[in-house]
Amino acid sequence: MSKRGLRVLQYALMNAAHNVVKNSATFNAYYDAKMAESRIHPNALGHYAGKLVRFIWNMLTNELEINLN
């Protein structure tokens, strides 16, 4: 995640990424893989926030639904 853009939006995305990583075992694997690459927590979370944005964009543009159960 770059430092350019709206700070409030970056804050919201980082919080969303943190909550998804913390509460969903399905999405935790990517975060764990980034941490295994010797990244620090904020850096790994930033990578995951970018992935989360791409995931949400794909869901919205292709009108997909997801079942997390």
What pLDDT, on the 0 to 100 scale, is given for residue 57?
93
Please give the structure tokens belonging to residue 23: 């509460």
Domain map of the chain by residue range? Answer: 7-61
Please report the sign of the dihedral spanned by the C-alpha atoms of residue 9, residue 14, residue 16, residue 17. positive
Contact 14, 49 (CB under 8 A): yes
pLDDT in tens, 3-50: 787 889 989 999 999 999 998 887 888 888 888 988 888 888 988 999
What pLDDT, on the 0 to 100 scale, is given for residue 28?
87
In order of 16, 27, 29, 49, 51, the CA distances from 46 in angstroms are 11, 14, 15, 5, 9
Hey, how many other C-beta atoms are within 10 angstroms of the C-beta on 65?
Answer: 5
Q: Check whether 69 has a pLDDT greater than 70.
A: no
Taking the whole predicted model, whether its pTM rises above 0.85 is answered as: no
